[in-house]
Amino acid sequence: MSEKSMKALFVNPPVYDFSAFDLWSKPYGFLFIIDLFIKNGWDVFFFDFMDREHKFYEKNRKDRKFGCGNYYFKIVDKPHIYKDVPRRYKRFGLPDEFFIEFIEKIGRVDFIFLTCGMTYWYPGVEEVINLCRKFMNVPIVLGGAYATFCPEHAKNTGADIIFEGGDIEEFVIQFNNSFGQRFFLPENLEPHWDVYDKISYLVVRTSKGCPFSCYYCGVKKIEKKYLLRNIDHVVREINWNVRKFNIRDIAFYDDALLCNFENHLEKILNDVNKTVGTLNYHTPNGIHPRYINKYSAEFLKQSGFRTIRLSVESLDRKRQKESDFKVNFLDFENAMKNLVDAGYSKEEIGVYILAGLPEQTIENVIDTIKILKQFPCKIKVAEYSPIPGTRDYEIARKLYPFLPIEEPLFQNNSIFPIWNFKDKWEKIDYMKQIARE
């Protein structure tokens, strides 16, 4: 390595969408890449357009419970593909002037790295790349969900390298080969939260990948294998950052949080609770009802889980097959009974159901909603988004060849892209109203 340290700028771009809310949202995987560069001796600079702890929010901050809240936004023109969507299109995140001020302050860097969490958020990537090109002509590397699922489209953003997937070892190989670097892969990479001055919550993954193979999910393109993280590493990650940032809320990003529960999550939380006390835990990704028995429900309650989200998706037999039979109605009934017996209220239990799947009718969704309304839970309608490379995406291409689902903007779940029937928006509003009542 040269005597002069290399410098890298990492950017989490703004979001262009119809809606966005900070529901424990952080670029978690990006923080591991930052840690990789720091442990290789690089000087790292980080700018997060979606950081609600930025000084800008001192007068523009609206918080909800558990550290969540609204982003600053401004209304922008809708792309032509959304012309018939009866909703306002917005740019969420910090104004550009703060980013310009930041890059003028740090001066020239050797590389710029960007991430993008959704395929249809790429307008924010293009915005940042165009801004960066005005100030410096250095290689730009783009990763994240957009680069993984739409790599050919991502090449049009102006990025020099498109990195697909989430395997850091593969990233090191590609980076070394592309730019003649001599990176090494440290034994223990962890999310480098120190790039933030302040955070109001922590996000954690105790595992990588998922053991299930749902038709609609693209996680296996990002993480091919399901692996449990080292318990000691996860405990240290939580304890260190809880103390450093003085926070009490933690959201788990795991796709299968309760798998191997007694040998993994239970041990992690027992160790954490002994060291920093009981925290507020949350499950925004949803957990599988089949794993919630009497013991695990009581443990979750006693350990401090404040928001429980169950992934039911659908009670239709065909849909259950497409979700790898993760849940059936009996599993759900048992899970609800165990949660209620453990002391959970309707306000604390949310149930995700999917709407807008290929060949799914709105009547199918409403039927599921009506069944679930017999239980003490809040029903959360999760809009389906066709993700390239998934089985549902290929099914949708064959069933609806007239729809432009290869365009990332059309993969926006807010527009229910696969549903194409008369009075679409009126029926969707009716469906959501039933779920809310």
pLDDT in tens, the chain (437 residues): 445 789 999 999 999 999 999 999 999 999 999 999 999 999 999 999 999 999 999 877 777 789 999 999 999 999 999 999 999 999 999 999 999 999 999 999 999 999 999 999 999 999 999 999 999 999 999 999 999 999 999 999 999 999 999 999 999 999 999 999 888 999 889 999 999 999 999 999 999 999 888 888 999 999 989 999 999 999 999 999 999 999 999 999 998 999 999 999 999 999 999 999 889 999 999 999 999 999 999 999 999 999 999 998 777 665 555 554 456 789 999 999 999 999 999 999 999 999 999 999 999 999 999 999 999 999 999 999 999 999 999 999 999 999 999 999 999 999 999 998 889 999 999 999 999 98
Phi, psi of 377 (to 5 degrees): -150, 160
> How far, in Å, CA of 141 to CA of 162, rounded?
6
Which residue matches tokens 């933690």? 250
Q: Provide the whole-model pTM.
A: 0.94
Provide the pLDDT for residue 280: 97
- Residue 255 DSSP one-character state: S
Closest CA to 280 of 201, 380, 377, 376: 201
Q: Beta strands of 85-221 (E only): which ranges?
A: 90-92, 111-114, 140-142, 161-162, 202-204, 207-208
Domains and CATH numbers, the chain: 7-179 (3.40.50.280), 204-436 (3.20.20.70)
Provide the pLDDT for residue 2: 44
Q: At what angle do helices 168-179 and 28-39 cross, to 10 degrees?
A: 50
- Measure Cα distances from 216 to 19, 131, 220, 253, 357 in Å: 22, 35, 11, 18, 8
Which residue matches tokens 């294998």? 225
Say if CB 320 and CB 328 are below 8 A apart: yes
Provide the pLDDT for residue 214: 86
Provide the pLDDT for residue 1: 40
Provide the pLDDT for residue 328: 79
Say if CB 145 and CB 29 are below 8 A apart: no
Say if CB 312 and CB 325 are below 8 A apart: no
Say if CB 258 and CB 296 are below 8 A apart: yes
> Which stretches within 377-423 are classed as H helix?
391-399
Element of type H or E holding 125: helix 122-135
